[in-house]
Amino acid sequence: MPGESLPTGPEGGPGPAGPAAATRPPRPLWARLLLWGTAAGLALALLAAGAGAVLWIHFSRGLPSIPSLAEYRPPIVTEVLSADGQLVGEFFVERRKVVPYERIPRRLIQAFVASEDQSFFEHHGVDLLGTLRAAVNTYLLRRKMQGGSTITQQTAKSLLVSAEGFAEGTRRNLRRKIRELILATRLEAAFTKEEILFLYLNGVYLGHHSYGVQSAAENYYRKNVEELTLAEAALIAGLPQAPTRYSPFVNPEAARNRRRYVLRRMFEDGYITAAERKAAEEAEVRVFEVDDPFRETAPFYVEQVRRQVVERYGNDRLLRDGLRVETGMALEVQRGAQAAMLQGLMEVDHRQGYYGPVAQVAGAARDELLGRLARAWPRGSLRVGDYAVGLVTAVDDRAGAAQVAVGEEAGLLPISGMRWARRPNPEVWYPDALISRVSTALAPGDVILVRRVERKELLAREAGRSAEARAQVPEAPLLLSLEQEPRLQGALVSIEPFTGYVAAMVGGYDFEASEFNRAFQACRQPGSAFKPIVYSAAIDKLGYSPATLLTDAPIVYRDESSGVSWKPENFGQSFKGDVTLRDALVHSMNIPAVKVAAALGVDRLVEWARILGLTTPVKRELGSAIGSSCTTLWDLGQVYALLDRYGEKRRSTFVKRVLDRDGRVLEDHTAPADPWVPLSTRLAAAAAAVEAPRERVMDERSAYITVHLMQEVATVGTGAQAARLGKPAAGKTGTTNDSFDTWFLGFTRDLFTGVWLGYDKNETPLGRYETGGRAALPIWLATMQAALRDRPEPEFPIPAGIAFVRIDPATGRPVDGLDQGVVEPFKTEAQPVAEDAGKPRIEVRDLFGE
Q: How many CA atoms lie within 13 A of 213 on its CB side?
A: 31
Q: Which helix (H) or strand (E) holds 787?
A: helix 777-788
Report the alpha-carbon distance of residue 834 to residue 111 in Å, rounded: 91
- Other C-beta atoms closer than 10 Å to the C-beta of 760 total 14
Asked if 506 contacts 341 with a C-beta cutoff of 8 angstroms, the reply is yes
Q: What is the dihedral of CA 755, 759, 765, 771, to 10 degrees?
A: -10
**Does 436 qualify as catalytic in the annotation?**
no
The edge-to-edge listing of strands for the beta sheet with 489-495 is: 502-506, 489-495, 752-758, 741-747, 730-735
Question: At how many degrees (to 10) do helices 174-190 and 193-203 cross?
Answer: 130
**DSSP of 325-353:** EEE---HHHHHHHHHHHHHHHHHHHHHH-
- Comparing CA positions, the residue from 197, 82, 177, 184 lying closest to residue 134 is 177
Asked if 250 contacts 239 with a C-beta cutoff of 8 angstroms, the reply is no
Q: Is 414 exposed, middle or buried (0-12, 13-18, 19+ CB in 10 A)?
A: buried
Asked if 209 contacts 219 with a C-beta cutoff of 8 angstroms, the reply is yes
Sequence-separated (6 or more) residues with CB below 8 Å from residue 410? 393, 403, 404, 478
Q: In terms of DSSP bridges, do strands 409-414 and 401-406 run parallel, antiparallel, or are they unpaired?
A: antiparallel
- Other C-beta atoms closer than 10 Å to the C-beta of 759 total 15
Task: Please give the DSSP secondary-structure letter assigned to residue 290.
Answer: P
Report the alpha-carbon distance of residue 293 to residue 462 in Å, rounded: 39
Q: How many CA atoms lie within 13 A of 128 on its CB side?
A: 3
- Comparing CA positions, the residue from 337, 334, 342 lying closest to residue 297 is 334
Strands (E), 538-624: 549-552, 557-559, 564-566, 577-580
Sequence-separated (6 or more) residues with CB below 8 Å from residue 243? 205, 206, 207, 208
Asked if 183 contacts 190 with a C-beta cutoff of 8 angstroms, the reply is no
Report the alpha-carbon distance of residue 366 to residue 445 in Å, rounded: 7
Q: What is the dihedral of CA 527, 529, 533, 536, to 10 degrees?
A: 130
**Does 116 qualify as catalytic in the annotation?**
yes
Asked if 672 contacts 792 with a C-beta cutoff of 8 angstroms, the reply is no
Helix ranges restricted to H, 165-298 = 166-169, 174-190, 193-203, 213-221, 230-237, 252-268, 274-282, 293-297
Radius of gyration of the chain (CA): 40
Instruction: Let me know how long the chain is.
Output: 850
Q: What is the dihedral of CA 239, 240, 244, 245, to 10 degrees?
A: -70
Task: Please give the DSSP secondary-structure letter assigned to residue 729.
Answer: -
Three-state DSSP class for 825? strand
Report the alpha-carbon distance of residue 275 to residue 265 in Å, rounded: 14
Task: Please give the DSSP secondary-structure letter assigned to residue 105.
Answer: -
Which residue among the candidates 82, 162, 210, 528 is catalytic per the annotation?
A: 528
Which residue among the candidates 79, 94, 116, 712 is catalytic per the annotation?
A: 116
- Comparing CA positions, the residue from 751, 752, 759 lying closest to residue 775 is 759
Task: Please give the DSSP secondary-structure letter assigned to residue 73.
Answer: -
Asked if 380 contacts 395 with a C-beta cutoff of 8 angstroms, the reply is no
Would you name the residues annotated as active-site residues?
116, 528
